[in-house]
Amino acid sequence: MKKSLLILFLSLILAVGMTAPGFAGKKICKLGHVNSPASIFQFGAEAFKEAVEKELPDWTIELYPAGQLGGTLAMIQGMTLGTVDIYTEFISVLADLVPEYKVFAVHYKFDSVDEYELFMNSATFAKMNDKMIKMNGITNIGNMRAGSVYNHFSNKPMYTVEDAKGVVNRVAQMAPLVQCWLAYGAKPTSMDWGEIYTSLQTGVITSIDNPILDMYDEKFHEAVKYVNMTNNLYNMISYNTSMAFWKKLSDREKDVFRRAIRVASIKGEMEVKRRLDGVKAELKSKGIKTIQTDPSGFKKAVQSNINTILAGDKDAIAVYEKIMNKDF
């Protein structure tokens, strides 16, 4: 009898252990990004936090802007190790982890944020995400609209691709980005986000491309003379998470997190529309001239050099061709 009771007791303990949530006490999610507390990244993170905590009062979303959890590489490593829960950034920063992700760092492949979003909801990207999970334990759980089209701050006007020759342009530490700028005849220089402001001021670099609001919020405009409307990359802010963290969430919690990203996306897009015209007007008032760049030469340079830009990787080139053919 005692033996039977012991077996029953142990079985109950095992059952409880198997169904218990993966968190003890207050549930905490650490969300980090490298942009400033004034950025659209932080605006979206705060909207995400508010939406999650409203529906899941047992959760606290802790926000760490401005690289408080480390720089780009440190946070990517943190996700693979399970020490960073969510990292919000343009997904091109993951280009070195899965060959096909290199395509995100190639210029002039999407024609709009709408097209980018279609791709992120496609079967082609789903397969890429599955590969990222298997190889690195990282998954994309949603994407936020944030006026994420790259344009160009510089100290010389850029009317055509000819004007890019010799320009010392900051690029993120991704080979395809470097190769795109080399194809234009520029002198790309890789550096972390936190190094850019001082490098612009001291002349180490003479230009940078990113969404206008992101560059404005970091005060990069204080060291340049021109805004060149190159429209060379269309993006959304990707919410990437560690599978070690994601597996701990219940189905309901996962659904709430995904819906919170959609809320952040709607609010982020509205915030960009509210601010962008005012920022452009302010730049003009400070004597910073807007140039309507002709992209045709840039596009031709990318297409002519795509094998070099993607280092001959057949899988990445296949994805690029799907995008260019609108067949994804």
Q: Do 218 and 302 belong to one domain?
A: yes
Q: Do 139 and 250 belong to one domain?
A: yes
Q: Do 227 and 176 belong to one domain?
A: yes
Q: Do 116 and 99 belong to one domain?
A: yes
Task: Judge whether 229 lies within some domain.
Answer: yes
pLDDT score recorded for residue 323: 98
pLDDT score recorded for residue 10: 35
Q: Do 69 and 159 belong to one domain?
A: no
Q: Please report how the helices 113-120 and 123-136 are oriented relative to each other, as an axis angle in degrees rounded to 10.
A: 60
* CATH value at residue 199: 3.40.190.170
Quote the number of domains for the chain.
2
pLDDT < 50 regions, the chain = 1-21
Encoding tokens for residue 137? Answer: 């334990």
Q: Are strands 226-228 and 169-171 parallel, antiparallel or unpaired?
A: unpaired
pLDDT tens per residue across span 15-27: 333 333 467 678 9
Task: Judge whether 249 lies within some domain.
Answer: yes
Q: Do 163 and 138 belong to one domain?
A: no
pLDDT tens per residue across span 125-160: 999 999 999 999 999 999 999 988 999 999 999 999
Pairwise CA distance, residues 126 & 134, whole Å: 12
Q: Do 263 and 290 belong to one domain?
A: no
- Please name which of 75, 99, 118, 98 lies closest in space to residue 240, comparing C-alpha atoms: 75
Whole-structure pTM value: 0.88
pLDDT score recorded for residue 9: 33
Q: Do 229 and 239 belong to one domain?
A: no
Task: Judge whether 8 lies within some domain.
Answer: no
Q: Do 161 and 303 belong to one domain?
A: yes
Buried b (16+ CB within 10 A) or exposed e, 210-248: bbbbbbbbbebbebbebbbbbbbbbbbbbbbbbbbbbee
Reported as half-sphere exposure (CB side, CA atoms, 13 A), residue 139 has a value of: 13
pLDDT score recorded for residue 286: 97
Task: Judge whether 18 lies within some domain.
Answer: no
Task: Judge whether 10 lies within some domain.
Answer: no
Pairwise CA distance, residues 74 & 174, whole Å: 15
Query: Which domain, by its residues, includes 192?
Result: 150-233+279-324
Reduced DSSP (H G I as helix, E B as strand, rest coil) percent helix, strand, coil of the chain, to 5: 55, 15, 30
pLDDT score recorded for residue 26: 83
Q: Do 251 and 291 belong to one domain?
A: no
Pairwise CA distance, residues 23 & 119, whole Å: 34
pLDDT score recorded for residue 16: 36
Task: Judge whether 141 lies within some domain.
Answer: yes
pLDDT score recorded for residue 265: 98
Task: Judge whether 314 lies within some domain.
Answer: yes
Q: Do 121 and 175 belong to one domain?
A: no
Task: Judge whether 11 lies within some domain.
Answer: no
Pairwise CA distance, residues 242 & 212, whole Å: 30
Q: Do 162 and 58 belong to one domain?
A: no
Encoding tokens for residue 323? Answer: 């995008």
